[in-house]
Amino acid sequence: MIAKGVEQPALAVERLDGGYADSAVLHGVTLDVRPAEIFAILGKNGMGKTTLLKTMMGLLRARSGRVEVLGADVSRWAPYRITRLGVSYVPQEKSIFQDLSVEENLRLALRELSEFTDRLEAVAQWFPILKSRHRQRAGTLSGGEQKMLLIGRALLTRPRLVLVDEISEGLQPAVITRLREVLTEERRARGLTIVLVEQNVDFALALADRYAVLKVGTVVETGRTADAGARERIERHLVL
Ligand SMILES: Nc1ncnc2c1ncn2[C@@H]1O[C@H](COP(=O)(O)OP(=O)(O)O)[C@@H](O)[C@H]1O
Ligand SMILES: [Mg+2]
């Protein structure tokens, strides 16, 4: 499928159909994301964005089509195997351990604990507030701090690909700016590939290289964020 001499995509989705037991949600979704690219998936509520990420991660079974991650066909893989390729997933629901401390939540992300002190230092540089609150029970953090913890935990493992579901939702502008800086720097420094599901067009345009718009489980628009008219082409699918 992939031509010789052409760079292998970090993520390739081909004619993917998927959904839940008695409802088909995704219909022939095709997209590809290049290494070190930041790619935004936009669309209104209920269009299938979360279902798409979960199907890519193996949390939902594809009905047909295929998902390739970092060169491997992962279409029938369990989530933990996909994770081991160097993939981190930040779900839309705040999946932190409420009763554990900030530091304990971070420690659980790592398999190799000898690296933990170094990695904790990296998280402290991204989000100093998490360092000063490392003993605090995670469930008592503010909404914005919990999002920082989620991103910190996802990046702690130094993934090659990270899938992020609506991280900017409900966040203050200063926190959104910080998230943008952290993600941009990780891409620059390590070649991290980032797939963002977003409804915040400003955030997506500021961060992403390319985008796809999902409507009723189908990609209806793709392009480069730098192209003239990109915002208008995206926004016309996000209005009523
Ligand atoms: N667990 C589920 N079981 C059945 N249908 C679901 C489930 N989760 C989501 N859906 C349905 O799938 C469709 C897409 O949802 P979702 O992927 O969450 O959209 P988005 O993330 O774009 O808001 C919606 O119609 C939603 O009601
Ligand atoms: Mg969603």
Q: What is the mean pLDDT of the chain?
A: 94
Write out pLDDT tens, residues 150-170: 999 999 999 999 999 999 998
Whether residue 168 contacts residue 176, with contact meaning beta carbons closer than 8 Å, is answered with yes
Please give the number of the atom of ligand 1 that sits closest to the Cα of 214: 22
Closest ligand to the CA of 48: 1
- Ligand 1 centre to CA of 37 (Å) is 27
What percent of the chain is modeled with pLDDT above 90? 88
Alpha carbons within 13 angstroms on the beta-carbon side of residue 75 total 14
- Kindly state if the Cβ of 216 falls inside 6 Å of ligand 1: no
pLDDT confidence bin for 3, thresholds 50/70/90? low
Closest ligand to the CA of 217: 1
Its pTM stands at: 0.94
pLDDT confidence bin for 239, thresholds 50/70/90? confident
- Kindly state if the Cβ of 43 falls inside 6 Å of ligand 1: yes
- Kindly state if the Cβ of 46 falls inside 6 Å of ligand 1: yes
Stronger pLDDT, 141 or 1, i.e. the higher one: 141
Is residue 144 predicted with pLDDT exceeding 70? yes
Closest ligand to the CA of 93: 2
Write out pLDDT tens, residues 104-124: 999 998 888 888 888 899 999
Say what the pLDDT of residue 6 is: 63
Write out pLDDT tens, residues 25-69: 999 999 999 999 999 999 999 999 999 999 999 999 999 999 999
- Residues 195-211: what's their mean pLDDT? 96
1-86+160-240 architecture in CATH? Answer: 3-Layer(aba) Sandwich (3.40)
DSSP of 34-67: -TT-EEEEE--TTSSHHHHHHHHTTSS-EEEEEE
Give residue limits of the domains in the chain.
Answer: 1-86+160-240, 96-158
- Kindly state if the Cβ of 23 falls inside 6 Å of ligand 1: yes
- Ligand 1 centre to CA of 236 (Å) is 22
Place of tokens 């409802």: 23
- Ligand 2 centre to CA of 165 (Å) is 7
What percent of the chain is modeled with pLDDT above 70? 97
Place of tokens 């351990």: 97
Residue nearest to atom 26 of ligand 1 (CA): 46
User: For the packed helices 143-156 and 116-126, what is the interaxial angle rounded to 10 degrees?
Assistant: 140
Say what the pLDDT of residue 87 is: 97
- Kindly state if the Cβ of 97 falls inside 6 Å of ligand 1: no
Whether residue 229 contacts residue 37, with contact meaning beta carbons closer than 8 Å, is answered with no
- Kindly state if the Cβ of 93 falls inside 6 Å of ligand 1: no
Is residue 15 predicted with pLDDT exceeding 60? yes
Is residue 93 predicted with pLDDT exceeding 90? no
Say what the pLDDT of residue 50 is: 98
